Amino acid sequence: MNVSESIWIALDAVRSQKMRSSLTLLSIGIGVFAIIASTGITGTLQNALTGQLADLGENSFLIQRTPTIQFGNSWRKYRKRPNISLEQANEFKERMTLTNLISVSNTSPGFTIKSGLESTNPDVSLIGIDEMYFLVNAPMLRDGRPVTEQDVALISNVALVGTDVVKSLFSDGKSLGRSITIKNQEFTIVGELEPKGGVLGQSQDNRVLVPISVYVKYYTPWWDASVDISVKSIAKEAQPATMDEAIGAMRLIRECKPWDENNFELDGNEAIGGQFANLSVAILAVAWISGIGALAAAGIGIMNMMLVSVQERTREIGVRKALGAKRKWIVRQFLVESVTLCQLGGLTGVIGGIGTTWLVSYYLQQSMPNLQFEIPWFAVVFSVVVCTMIGIGFGLYPAYKAAGLDPIEALRHE
């Protein structure tokens, strides 16, 4: 009996025992799906994050009350930290000597912007900024002017709007000089932002920028009264010294004792990327362990299927041995059948995993056109190899049991 015939026998076993085969193959498919989907999705998200961090600039870092990415119950450690006030941020600007590229900002989601009879959905992000915001961060102006130092000092009700807000409020697409209302406060639009697309499915154009002094006066939420400080070093090689000076200045301003930990977080691009990488490793570890566990459990199901197959085909095996079939031929036949069953289940998992990764990439590409879909080839090859090993490992016992049958006793089997 050749290999192709053994494969057809395995497929026929699947057809004849649909329920039992489906449950076993489903276990293999779930295990492979978990491995491929988790690898593909985390890789896609990592590429998306890398692209967004590149937009921030390699010389920039962020000072804030809590870390950008938090794990588990780590928020308990940070909840008692005092807020970084606007006054502290302004003092920080005065103390820094290695760079003057320092911006103060804060963001709150969920605002409704109105103009006349038109209004946006309640999902607009309101961002308080200062005059240095456009020098430190990536946003660009398409039209109009930025927030000035005078706007911040005089607490002027001026605003810059994203293109999504313009589309929602002004049918003619013209926004400069027009008025908008944000929670009973009227603002004059002085600038329109360049379209940015989105990150992780969230639009970066659905936002309104106002002077940080106005933001703190009218819109600072009780649960997030702390401002963020963005710092950009003069050159890449100057960044370590700039970060050291920033830490020292913040510790003095926030009255940290020499033995105290920092009661603020300083996150650079590498730190944020490292935090996400740690999260990705944790997700991958759980998914891969679960997937391999599911594959091992499925291997037991494969062994059970093959033992039942040996039992059902005992007389056939006896006839083959009586006609001169060698033990190694019978062992090979059952191993090929076992591996075929594993690969059939693995194929469903590969298709499901790649399909899910493609769907996630397609969804993200709506806001990030430059994001590329990539098949996680390492995970695919690993899954195929593991399925083959499981087929061989869990098929050996049934195969040798079949090969070891006494031909006379096998021929008497009913």
Domain boundaries, the chain: 3-52+275-412, 82-263
The predicted model scores a pTM of 0.61
CA 367/CA 369 separation, integer angstroms: 6
With contact defined as beta carbons under 8 Å apart, do 232 and 59 qualify? yes
**Residue 157 DSSP one-character state:** -
pLDDT (tens digit, 0 to 9) for every residue of the chain, 414 residues total? 556 666 676 566 556 666 666 777 787 888 888 888 888 777 777 666 665 555 555 678 888 888 766 555 556 677 778 888 899 999 999 999 998 889 999 988 889 999 988 999 998 999 999 999 988 877 788 889 999 999 999 999 999 999 999 999 998 888 999 999 999 899 999 999 988 766 555 677 899 999 999 999 998 866 667 899 989 888 878 888 998 999 999 999 998 888 888 888 887 766 555 556 666 677 777 777 877 787 777 788 778 777 777 776 667 766 666 767 677 777 777 777 778 778 888 888 888 888 888 887 777 665 555 566 777 888 888 888 888 888 888 878 877 777 666 666 656 555
**Residue 102 DSSP one-character state:** E
- What phi and psi, each to the nearest 5 degrees, are found at residue 247? -65, -45
CA 362/CA 135 separation, integer angstroms: 33
With contact defined as beta carbons under 8 Å apart, do 24 and 305 qualify? yes
Residue position matching structure tokens 């963020």: 228
CA 260/CA 263 separation, integer angstroms: 8
Residue 191's H or E segment, with its range, is: strand 185-193
Query: Hey, which residues does 207 pair with through a beta bridge?
Result: 125
Q: Which amino acid is at 22?
A: S
CA 293/CA 299 separation, integer angstroms: 10
CA 175/CA 168 separation, integer angstroms: 11
Residue position matching structure tokens 């650079």: 268
